[in-house]
Amino acid sequence: MGITYLEQKKIFKLDTPNTTYLMEIVDAEGFLGHIYYGRRLEDAEGAEELLRTLEGPFTPETNSRDRSSFMDCFPWEYSSHGVGDFRESSVRVKDENGCSAVMLTYLSHEIYEGKRPLEGLPATFGKQDQVQTLEITCEDKCLGLRAVLSYSVFEDTDAIARSVRFENAGRQVLSLEKAMSCCLDMDNRNFDAITLHGSWARERRIERKPIGHGRFSVSTLRGETSHQEHCFLALAAPGANQDQGEVYGFHLVYSGNFLIQAEVNQFDSVRVVAGINPEDFCWRLGGGESFQTPEVILTYSAQGIGGMTNSLHKLYRNHLIRSPYLHKKRPILINNWEATYFDFDEKKLLDIAKESAALGIEMLVMDDGWFGNRYDDNRALGDWKVNEKKLKGGLGRLVEQVNALGMKFGIWFEPEMISEESALYRQHPDWALAVPGRKPTLSRNQYVLDISRREVRDCIMEQVFAVLHSANIEYVKWDMNRPLTDLGSAALPADRQGELYHRYVLGMYEMQERLVKEFPDLLLENCSGGGGRFDPGMLYYSPQIWCSDDTDAVERLAIQESTAMLYPLSAMGAHVSVCPNHTVGRNTPFETRGYVALAGTFGYELDITKLDEEDRAMVPRQTAMYHRFHDLVREGEYYRLSSWQENGSFDCFQVNGPDGKECLVFYTQVLNEPAKKSRIVRLKGLDAGARYRIRVVSMEGGDLIKDTGREASGEVLMYGGFRLERLWGDFRSRIFCLERI
């Protein structure tokens, strides 16, 4: 790891363990150009020729008559607007004259050990010996605008964290209409775009397609990172797969409207920009004021998609998740939502708790319906007071009884929303987002609170804190069940309404920061109608996020595979639920449901008092399986072996323990096929010179882990393969445990 400035050549060199990033200051005006991002270069001599400034149209100091041609083909480190570069701009600023041209050039730089936090925003972090940061200050002298381009590199992973801070050093008021977090220009290599698309209950499905001339983007205007498109884009060279080929990843650490776009121009160069979606965004920047963009994570892998995955997993584990639960075993919880929905009282909850405690489940989570007049989803959001008609004796009494069973207690909130039928709305109708004179748009029969306002945040958090202080509550599920519409704030003047989307996100971040500081030992799990706000920004506050409201084991194979391409397994909320599944009506074996849920945080989403004897008898073995293997799953290195999304038949992945002594192979046969031989998959990351004993996890009687009588060398398992026998029937699973002898 290291950042160096080669003063004689005016080149910045950023090195991670396996990659190098190069920039150069060219021309007397101080244009900052991007030279190279790829495999690590120990010697970068001659790399400056990659800028092509020695060929036409040359730099403006050599050929001022073709300045526009230069602007439109130079590989900018941060692109301008309105001055000749007709590709996607990184910034757009309107001055007091109504003009929007902006051109940022080099002013100064600073290199320092460590990394400064981003005010009001989640961001990666590290100790001084773990991370090094470069800040390049550029300016537009005409506007009095400065932009501080920040780059941080980490000693343990191939990632670069980038962001931009804008400062108005002049006297006029500027309107910042676009403020992207990064720009990257490079030659196109017939790249494919890899993105994650979806919808409610089928989040984050992998899609891969070639990009051509023009613009290809993923974005949202829903006010959340959304079920539909994810704040991620990768460019993959032709033929790049899990193990080989070049892949560039871009992942935004943000939880609101975003845009990530790749554009191929007439010279076959590709430009990627990433940041806050500029649509409906306008930030008023007075003299002396500043604006900080969210962070974007760049990663380059020469070892295919798997290399990108490994880098992101390391970065998020070591430099983003702050929770004390990061390296701790999470309690096995049971959530009452699919068991009871709104129809419960303290007796029903205690019946579930008693049965759960006897079977090894460690926490009861009370979901929606415990507060105000909340008997369905049409009322009471915003009235965060316990409904003692449902919970006689109050929350404290219920929690004491649950604790007496040896179980922890958790609770559900939806703090960002308000129901029209609520005491809060009757008192403060102006606290809901609304456009004056226009009837607001309902979704799930609820409105969105204007949490850009301090008084709104204070009111909600005071209610939440009062509930959490009233009893021994050790877990919170924070939900958000609708997108943002009717963007109008009664507290913002007309010339600041364009700030509302971003101020909303900042308000939500502040609320979550207050929560984790007030209750530092709390286990927080974020949720948004399932996986609608599963993004790196939320991981900064909660170590796990509810992956999807679809708990069907087969559907979860695809959802969890796509999520695990970017996020550690320990970040994925995953539960065992009943069949027929409440979302798709599919029947899958209880055993399979447990194996699939083990690839996440593991818990239950069902009425355990209604399980048949066969499934009930399996619960203690599943909880034992979790305790035996969760440390390995949480801390281990993830490898994708085969994808059901691609082959339509089976799913397989591997997790290697940190010490290399054990690994797990997760195998799910979705559909059986006649007259076919066994499947062969090549394992990864083993010790080629070692031998491995092959055992299998069993939900039947006797030992939890049973020997198969099979042994093989690491080199056979990796280079020859590992044989997976076909299982009888559909939707069958196995977990193999390989132990180094």
**pLDDT tens digits, one per residue of 605-652:** 999 999 999 999 999 999 999 999 999 999 999 999 999 999 999 999
The single residue of 140, 192, 549, 615 carrying the catalytic annotation is: 549
Active site residue 15: no
For 700, residues 6+ apart whose C-beta sits below 8 A from its C-beta are: none
- Domain harbouring 729, CATH code: 2.60.40.1180
Q: What is the 3-state secondary structure (H, E, C) of 552-596?
A: CHHHHHHHHHHHHCCCCHHHEECCEECCCCCCCCCCCCHHHHHHH
Structural domain of residue 184, as residue ranges?
Answer: 2-319
Q: Does residue 626 lie within any of the structural domains?
A: no
Same domain, 288 and 415: no
Cβ atoms of 368 and 344 within 8 Å: the answer is no
Q: In the listed set 279, 294, 319, which residue is the last one of a domain according to the structure? A: 319
**What pTM does this model have?**
0.97
Residue that finishes a domain, picked among 493, 513, 546: 546
Whether 690 shows a pLDDT value over 80: the answer reads yes
Residue 315 belongs to some domain of the structure: yes
Mean of pLDDT values over 314-331: 97
Q: What is the mean pLDDT of the chain?
A: 97
Q: Token pair of 423, please?
A: 């005491």
Residues counted in the chain: 741
Q: Is residue 339 part of a domain?
A: no
Strands (DSSP E) found in 598-726: 603-605, 637-642, 650-656, 662-669, 679-681, 691-697, 705-713, 722-724
Residues 305 and 425 in one domain: no
Q: Which residue has the higher pLDDT, 283 or 63?
A: 283
Total domain count, the chain: 3
Q: Does the residue 430 lie in any domain? A: yes
Phi and psi torsions of 226, nearest 5°? 75, 150
Residue 342 lies in a domain: no
In this structure, the answer to whether residues 303 and 447 fall within a common structural domain is no
| 527 and 655 together in one domain | no
1, pLDDT greater than 80: no
Residue 710 pLDDT class (50, 70, 90 cuts): very high
Contact of 532 with 224, CB cutoff 8 Å: yes
In percent, the amount of the chain with pLDDT more than 90 equals 99
Based on the fold, state whether residues 52 and 117 are members of the same structural domain: yes
CATH number of the domain that residue 104 is part of: 2.70.98.60
Percent of the chain with pLDDT over 70: 100
491 Cβ contact partners less than 8 Å away, ≥ 6 residues apart: 450, 452, 453
Report the CATH number at residue 390. 3.20.20.70
198 and 279 part of one domain = yes
Specify whether 381 is located in the same domain as 310.
no
pLDDT at residue 209, as a whole number = 97
| Residue range 501-533, pLDDT digits in tens | 999 999 999 999 999 999 999 999 999 999 999
Q: Per-residue pLDDT tens for 120-155?
A: 999 999 999 999 999 999 999 999 999 999 999 999
Residue 220, in any domain of the structure: yes
Quick one: 312 and 384 in the same domain?
A: no
Q: Do 314 and 381 fall within a single domain?
A: no
pLDDT of residue 701: 87
Q: What is the pLDDT of residues 244-254, one digit of tens each?
A: 999 999 999 99
Active site residue 730: no
Q: What is the pLDDT of residues 333-363, one digit of tens each?
A: 999 999 999 999 999 999 999 999 999 999 9
8 A C-beta contact, residue 625 and residue 598: yes
- Are residues 315 and 377 both part of a single domain? no
Which of 185, 479, 550, 552 is flagged as catalytic?
A: 479
Task: Report pLDDT for 567.
Answer: 98
Domain boundary among 512, 546, 580: 546
Residues 286 and 377 in one domain: no
Query: Token pair for residue 347?
Result: 């007796």
Residue 247 lies in a domain: yes
Residue position matching structure tokens 């196109």: 188
Is there a single domain that holds both residue 13 and residue 132?
yes
Quick check: is 625 in a domain? no
Tell me what pLDDT residue 226 has. Answer: 86
pLDDT at position 326 is: 96
Pairwise CA distance, residues 330 & 528, whole Å: 21
